[in-house]
Amino acid sequence: MGNPTRATLKSFIHRNFDRLFINVKSEFDGMIDGCRSWPDVFKPATKTDVHPAYTYGVEGVWCVGGGRDRITPYDDTYGYRGYKVSNCCGVFIVATKTEVQPCLK
């Protein structure tokens, strides 16, 4: 399995939009000329028509392209699985909610 690409991310978003969650960890803020952190919270994804080539139609997503997006698989213990994206505009996670497996002793 190779590294995830923007095509992988775009396909994941379009396949799972009806059950997609987003966690915007930080985003660019022109008032401070840098990235501002946000609370660590997953919210249901909402549609946007702003710059669809960069947002893939999801509020909070912003890919810069040109190989400058670092996309890594994401999987946490709370049942979210998807992709984490880091770039000069911030960090966000797009994921779907999966069933949490109980720990067996």
Burial label for 4, CB within 10 Å (0-12, 13-18, 19+), is buried
pLDDT value of position 18: 94
Q: Is the pLDDT of residue 105 over 70?
A: no
Closest C-alpha among 59, 95, 58 to residue 77: 95
Separation of alpha carbons 19 and 32, rounded Å: 34
Domain boundaries, the chain: 6-97
The tens digit of pLDDT for each residue in 13-69 reads 999 999 999 999 887 777 777 777 877 889 999 999 999 988 999 998 989 988 889
Give the 3-state DSSP-derived string for 14-46, with helices as H, strands as E and coil as C. Answer: HHHHHHEEEEEEEEEECCCCEEEECCCCCEECC
The tens digit of pLDDT for each residue in 70-102 reads 999 999 888 899 999 999 888 999 999 987 666
pLDDT value of position 73: 95
